[in-house]
């Protein structure tokens, strides 16, 4: 694969699995000991990546689960946040300003804090009640954070008797690093072709629904906008027909992410419309991805991680075709704001 180290990827994602198994067990123990609410609290991309797991738990569990913004909660507060709350704060760098402020705020409310970071000698690693550390970088963090958040909610639900096959699900996830690597390998030729096709596009409408919607939002904002300076319009597929459809015409790029859960028909509706009105439609569908030994439930829940691992290949080729390194920034962590 182009500009890719398979051994490094497997090492990082295997470490992510080990951390995820520990996180699930930790959350289960905290709920067993009286914790009665779960908060995911992130900034930027890391916060977005918590959303699929948070929404899954909000639908499937009676234990309250919230995904809130660090920058907001220190200003607004939250009635459900107290000494019986578990707060999980993801931050790859461990130094995100808003996340550090949120950590201090929730500690003041007596909540139990867990941070998920890539580096040990950082404020978020050192100041939390519990910290899980797994070195990763931007090109490997999506899969890691999706996996960590998933095992956190499964652990909480296991403690409440809401998951009947927790051990089996955790065991299934052991093979995820190898499965993701195979997905990358299979997608590589298409990734190169797609990157060549869209390299000169200055604008994309990106959409999805259910657990893959956060990946659509993330990829538009954190990759194409932040790392490639390409304008995007991420819009939830449920809202596509309440405004954004009027922007679709010949020459307008529409990218649709499709998963395998109950919300799939919402995305199919967008695809059927876009086929008629633009010649620049791209559909990335996890149903076309082959895996071995992953149950339908896990495939549906892992759809955003599957898309993320595919999109990393697209990004790698895109930065090459555009001669625009993914690490290049004008403002982010470069100037005061």
DSSP track, 184-215: HHHHHHHHHHHHHHHTT--EEEEEE-GGGHHH
- The tens digit of pLDDT for each residue in 83-140 reads 999 999 999 999 999 999 999 999 999 999 999 999 999 999 999 999 999 999 999 9
Per residue in 267-301, pLDDT (tens digit) is 999 999 999 999 999 999 999 999 999 999 999 99
Confidence (pLDDT) at 112: 98
Domain count, the chain: 2
Residue 137 and residue 84 share a domain: yes
Domain-embedded: residue 1: no
Q: Are residues 246 and 205 in the same domain?
A: yes
Res 193: pLDDT: 98
C-alpha to C-alpha distance for 184 and 180, rounded to whole angstroms? 6
In a domain, 101, yes or no: yes
Query: How many CA atoms within 13 Å lie on the side-chain side of 181?
Result: 15
Angle, in degrees to the nearest 10, between helices 51-60 and 138-159: 20
Please indicate, yes or no, if residue 150 is contained in any of the structural domains. yes
At which of 121, 140, 164 does a domain end? 164
Residue 263: the pLDDT is 98
β-strand pairing of 281-285 with 85-91: unpaired
Same structural domain, 216 and 287 = yes
| Low-confidence residues in the chain, pLDDT < 70 | none
- Kindly state the helix (H) or strand (E) to which residue 40 belongs, with its residue range: strand 37-42
Q: Based on the domain organization, do 281 and 212 belong to the same domain?
A: yes
Give the residue from 142, 164, 186 where a domain finishes: 164
Q: Is residue 285 part of a domain?
A: yes
Instruction: Assess whether 127 and 241 both reside in one domain.
Output: no
Both structure tokens of 172: 């299934």
332 within some domain: no
- Do residues 149 and 41 both lie within one domain? yes
Give the count of beta carbons closer than 10 Å to the beta carbon of residue 148: 26
**CA 113/CA 94 separation, integer angstroms:** 14
Q: Which of 110, 132, 164 is the last residue of a domain?
A: 164
pLDDT of residue 245: 98
Please state the pTM of the whole predicted model.
0.97
182 and 153 fall within a common domain: no
Domain, as residue range, for 156: 6-164
């Amino acid at each position: 694969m182009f500009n890719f180290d398979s051994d490094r990827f497997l090492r990082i994602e295997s470490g992510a699995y080990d951390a995820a198994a520990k996180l699930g067990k930790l959350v289960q123990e905290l709920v067993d000991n009286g914790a009665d609410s779960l908060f995911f609290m992130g900034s930027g991309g890391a916060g977005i990546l918590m959303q699929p797991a948070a929404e899954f738990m909000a639908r499937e569990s009676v234990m309250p689960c919230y995904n809130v913004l660090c920058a907001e909660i220190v200003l607004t507060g939250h009635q459900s946040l107290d000494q019986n709350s578990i707060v999980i704060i993801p931050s790859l760098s461990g130094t995100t300003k808003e996340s550090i402020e949120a950590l201090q705020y929730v500690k003041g409310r007596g909540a139990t804090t867990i941070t998920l970071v890539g580096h040990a000698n950082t404020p978020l690693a050192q100041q939390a009640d519990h910290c899980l550390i797994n070195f990763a970088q931007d090109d490997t963090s999506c899969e890691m954070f999706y996996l960590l958040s998933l095992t956190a909610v499964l652990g909480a639900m296991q403690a409440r008797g809401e998951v009947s096959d927790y051990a089996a699900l955790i065991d299934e996830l052991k093979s995820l690093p190898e499965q993701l690597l195979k997905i990358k390998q299979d997608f590589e030729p298409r990734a190169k072709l797609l990157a060549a096709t869209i390299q000169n596009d200055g604008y994309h409408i990106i959409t999805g629904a259910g657990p893959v919607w956060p990946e659509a939002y993330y990829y538009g904002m954190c990759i194409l906008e932040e790392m490639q300076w390409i304008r995007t319009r991420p819009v939830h597929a449920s809202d596509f027909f309440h405004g954004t459809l009027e922007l679709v015409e010949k020459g307008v790029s529409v990218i649709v992410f499709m998963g395998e859960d109950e919300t799939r028909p919402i995305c199919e509706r967008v695809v059927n419309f876009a086929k008629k009105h633009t010649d620049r439609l791209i559909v990335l569908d996890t149903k076309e991805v082959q895996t071995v030994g992953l149950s339908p439930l896990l495939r549906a829940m892992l759809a955003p991680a599957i898309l993320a691992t595919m999109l990393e290949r697209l990004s790698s080729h895109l930065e090459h075709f555009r001669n625009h390194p993914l690490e290049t920034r004008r403002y982010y962590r470069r100037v005061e704001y």
